[in-house]
Amino acid sequence: MCNFLIHSKTSAMGATVVLLAWACILSVVTAQDEVSICQSLDYRALTRELQNEHQCMILEKLQRDFEADKNSRESLLNDLVRRIDKLSKKISKLRKAKDDEREKPLKFSPALKGVPLIRDCHELLMNGITRSGVYSIKMPLGRILNVWCDMETDNGGWTVIQRRMDGSINFTRLWDDYTFGFGNANSEYWIGNENLYQMTTYYNYTMRIDMYGWDNDHAFAEYGIFFVSSEQNGFQLNIGNYRGTAGDSLNYHNDMKFTTEDRDNDKWFLNCAAKDGAGWWYKNCGYSSLNGLYIRDGNKTISPDGIIKGIIWFHWKWLYNYSLRKTEIKVKPTLAVKIERELFANVDDLPPTQEPPREEVEIEHFEEEVEEEIREEEIEQDLDIQG
Ligand SMILES: [Ca+2]
């Protein structure tokens, strides 16, 4: 094919030959089965003028094809540019939406539209919101939080700071998580110690713990004094003025700093948080652990190695091996609690707390403490005798 090219290399036709070669290649490509026009005897028999005219026609065709090709490429390119432009707009729109989402304060419930940000659920109640649900509140330093507002219990207006109900949220977490809070206001959460500290600078707060057992039984513990110290002071617990039906399983923990697996502030020679898989104001280790592991069967809180886990409030049932089904720790300004109780006088009835005999109770980690107390008593007696 096209073997005339070899002979014509030495000829003087130069560029024309090159064009002819293109025409030849084109004819070969477009009609492979046919005999090339360049090879045909008819073509060779043409006079020089006719051959030139033929070449001119081919040149024109090549130019036309080239133009058509160029146009189609240009339109393809334009199309591509348009698509890229569209895509980049879409990407920047998505990026902006994501940034907005990040900066946006937590969503208001529909009922809150037009209501300015409030400090706690009691203020919300004062704004006419009477339905329990998730609402946004503002911390003193401007942080916005989603919390569950209990608008039913004891005249309503309670800001829930901890909630356990189904084990959907992992409470085995480290210091930073317990500091800033975790979970979901619709289900289980810990509001965060820093938020607790900030929030309890607003007013004097009363803290109430509602707890539910596996037989739909319910009890509560209330502390007329409640505040948490700053992180510098280990988010120390400050409580007082107990009343309730659940027994006081928190007084023992009063004045304790918060302990997590990575921050041991308890009095035990090991780390109570690491043992219980939770964060709490542990002492040695204590009578309560409401952030403990969620255990579906309330009777399986003692693992095979004998370590007691679970959501514990010892004094309700006088049991360590009973993990609660549901808990809610909530706060409300103490003044509001007092005034509303005087006004509405529908305070919870307080049946006497059931107190089974102590000898049946299994005490956790208290041997050391009891021994210490006995030792102290002995020393005192010795001193008395010496005196
Ligand atoms: Ca310790």
Give the pLDDT score at 96: 83
**Is residue 132 in a domain?**
yes
Same-domain pairing of 60 and 131: no
Residues 81, 127 share a domain: no
The CA 279 to ligand 1 mean position distance, Å, reads 13
Ligand 1 center–CA 360 separation, angstroms: 27
Could you give the angle at the alpha carbon of 264 between the alpha carbons of 168 and 376, nearest 5°?
125
Check whether residue 54 and residue 137 sit in a common domain: no
CA of 368 relative to ligand 1 center, distance in Å: 13
Considering the domain architecture, whether residues 130 and 278 belong to the same structural domain is answered as yes
- Asked if 295 and 353 sit in the same domain, the reply is yes
Interval between CA 270 and ligand 1 midpoint (Å) = 4
Residue 370 lies in a domain: no
Based on the domain organization, do 350 and 266 belong to the same domain?
yes
Triad 134, 135, 141: Cα angle to 5°: 130
CB count, 10 Å around CB of 217?
11
Report the separation in Å between the CA atom of 364 and the middle of ligand 1, taken as the mean of its atom positions: 15
Give the other-Cβ count within 10 Å of 165's Cβ.
15
| 126 belongs to a structural domain | yes
Residue 195 Cα to ligand 1 midpoint, Å, equals 25
CA of 261 to the centre of ligand 1 (A): 10
Ligand 1 midpoint to CA 272 (Å): 7
Question: Is residue 13, in this structure, part of any structural domain at all?
Answer: yes
Query: Ligand 1 mean position to 271 CA, how many Å?
Result: 4
The answer to the question of residue 27 being in a domain is yes
Per-10-residue mean pLDDT for the chain, 387 residues long? 40 47 51 57 75 80 87 90 92 82 46 65 93 91 90 96 96 96 95 94 93 95 97 97 97 97 96 94 95 81 71 92 94 95 71 50 45 60 57
Compute the distance from residue 278 Cα to the ligand 1 centre, in Å.
14
The rounded Å distance from CA 366 to ligand 1 centre is 14
Give the number of domains in the chain.
2
Measured distance CA(239)–CA(250) in Å, rounded: 8
User: What b/e sequence results for 16-29 when a residue is b if at least 16 CB atoms lie within 10 Å of its CB, and e otherwise?
Assistant: bbebbeebbebbbe
Tell me how far the alpha carbon of residue 343 lies from the centroid of ligand 1, in angstroms.
46
- Does a structural domain hold residue 274? yes
The reply to whether 241 and 279 lie within a common domain is yes
Within a domain: 255: yes
DSSP state of 118: B
Q: pTM value?
A: 0.63
- Confidence (pLDDT) at 273: 95
Q: Round to whole Å and give the CA distance between 239 and 371.
A: 27
What does the pLDDT read at residue 367? 42
The predicted pLDDT at position 306 comes to 65
Q: What is the CATH number of the domain that holds 353?
A: 3.90.215.10
* pLDDT confidence of residue 274: 94
- ∠ CA 211-217-218, rounded to 5°: 35
Whether 82 and 121 map to the same domain: the answer is no
Q: What distance in angstroms lies between residue 268's CA and the mean position of ligand 1's atoms?
A: 4
Same-domain pairing of 231 and 302: yes
Is the domain of 213 the same as that of 305? Answer: yes
- From 86, 105, 135, the end of a domain falls on 86
Task: Find the domain containing 322 and state its range.
Answer: 116-359
Residue 198 and residue 278 in one domain: yes
Cα 346 to Cα 153, 155, 212, 263, 375: the distances in Å are 10, 8, 21, 42, 48
Kindly state the tokens that stand for 63: 């130019």
Alpha-carbon distance of 171 to 183, in angstroms, equals 9
Amino acid found at 236 = Q
Residues 208, 335 within the same domain: yes
